[in-house]
Amino acid sequence: MKVIKRDGRAVEYNNEKICVAIEKANKEVSESNRATSKEIDYIVSYIESLNKKRILVEDIQDIIEQKLMELGKYDLAKKYIVYRYTRALVRKQNTTDESILGLIKNVNNDSDSGNKTPIIASVQRDLIAGEVSKDLTKRILLPEKINKAHENGIIHFHDTEYFLQPIINSCLVNIEDMLYNGTIINDNKIDQPATFQMACVIFAQIIMAISDSQYGKQYLNVKHLGRYFRKSYDKLKLELSEVIEEDLIDKIVTKMLKKELSEGIKTIEYQINSLISTYEKKSVVTLILELDNEDKYYKENVMIVTEILNQYLEKVNKDNEHNKVLPVLICNFKNIDDKEIQELCKIAEQCNITVNTKDIDKYKYEGHFNQGIVSINLPQIAIETENDENEFWRILDERLEICYEALMCKHYALLGTISDVSPIHWQNGAISRLKQGERIDKLLKDGYSDISLGYVGLGETIKILASKFDWNDDIKDRYFSKILRYLEDRVQKWKKMTGIDFTVEKTINTNANFRLFKIDKNKYGKILNVFDSNCYKD
């Protein structure tokens, strides 16, 4: 068996080099985390059982990492990752210098969060740390073929500026558990709130705490505030009953609650706005406005949602640019025939918010989180398809395998992470209630979390193929659906194979779509001139 080195040289396979590499990594971990001689022999035997005539050195190293993970040697695998690139790290030029200087001079903003303003000091701090992560991810953490696929626009490996840290992408916060059972923020125990105002304060503090330990969106369902609005009503009514006549109590309580409602929602909005303004994390918070007349606190939640939408509409209508930075709202109204709900639908329409009337699976299970996303560049496959339609599917298969390996890199980066990394997520209720020192591994499989295959430019892909093979509208529509089904079928196979919940989603990351379009435009030129855009949109 010939081993193909990084510089292209072919050398004879030597299993002793594998043993030496693992033993060197063994010395860097505790004895309980080391691979035994029997386990090392198993890894060597597996590589040799592949019976390949030629194999890339990167593929051998990938297999070693994968097998160490399968054996539960997570710490050893991480040490091996560092070891395998130690010489390359010394050999390669550090790539962060120019990019960091570019940030300081405000000429570089090559981030997946492309809406950041690098001239702001707090944003610069975040971006500079991101440049270090991107550099180490490229030179140490990712296999060479994944890096090349990203650089050539075959895939987009999202959020490399955060890959260095064992943190997740996004989550649907289990806000009900955190409010009802209490939580801990900055080592301070937070008990169940006694009033709506206090619930809103804690709600806002939770948002701030979570944002520091993940890089993607957080979703929060405001329906859980209804319980505490009822608490405020009961508390005020009890207090006033001791000094005021009963027929006046409801009027006074209603007036006081209206003020508390307004101030509570403003507290949440203020904290979100502060988060967005300070760190330029636009749209990092999504509030789910869910109404269901079977909910015990339905009436309270109608009032809460009404207040949120009215405050949102007020800011949308203002000209001041500082009021344009707003959280994303998702309206999920199940009893659309109610008069009150119809009025809320009208306000939502004025805010350009679509109202959903069915369950949204993505936001259904609180505590659910996303491990990361890798996107496939579909138009590039269409561009490279020359002979017949079957060639498209062959190339797609090859590139989906690259996507799978890249997605597993996201998964492996989280394996072995202990709950102490982010107590707010793993120990104090945002996602789970694990013990100190407990690994999060069981939450990475069996549907508690997912990992996303994104796709870019499906509409452009169909247009390119149609121009090559003279398709009519019916064929274009069929192929659009056929490609989507193909992606869905493939991730289901991955799910059965690994136990990990893979999902498919359209990539709406503007920076990713722009980057892939730019690469293809430079590489293929005229074929993309037919699109009146500087990025993939459809």
Q: Are the CB atoms for 419 and 433 separated by under 8 Å?
A: no
In which residue are the tokens 């962060």 written? 96
Residue-level pLDDT at 437:
95
Identify the CA nearest to 363 among candidates 220, 182, 514, 535: 220
Report how far residue 360's alpha carbon sits from residue 521's, in angstroms, rounded to the nearest whole number: 37
Q: How confident is the model over 149-188, as pLDDT tens digits? A: 999 999 999 999 899 889 999 999 999 999 999 999 989 9
DSSP 216: S
Crossing angle for the helix pair 389-414 and 458-469, to the nearest 10 degrees: 160
- Whether residue 217 contacts residue 283, with contact meaning beta carbons closer than 8 Å, is answered with yes
Tokens (6 digits) for 144: 């060479």
Counting as low any pLDDT under 70, the low residues of the chain are 6-9, 83-128, 275-283, 319-325, 358-364, 530
State how far the Cα of 144 lies from the Cα of 58, in Å rounded to an integer.
Answer: 7
DSSP assignment of 303-332, as one string? HHHHHHHHHHHHHHH---GGGG---EEEEE
pLDDT of residue 192: 97
Q: Phi then psi for 153, rounded to 5 degrees?
A: 80, 15
Task: Give me the pLDDT at residue 523, please.
Answer: 87
CA 375/CA 522 separation, integer angstroms: 20
Largest separation between any pair of C-alpha atoms in the chain:
95
Helix (H, G, I), strand (E, B) or coil at 403: helix
- For the stretch 385-437, pLDDT in tens is 988 889 999 999 999 999 999 999 999 999 999 999 999 999 999 999 999 99
pTM of the shown model: 0.78
- The per-residue pLDDT for 306 is 96
φ and ψ of 170, to 5 deg? -140, 165
Could you tell me if 167 and 422 are in contact, meaning their C-beta atoms sit under 8 angstroms apart? yes
Residue 123 CB neighbour total at 10 angstroms? 20
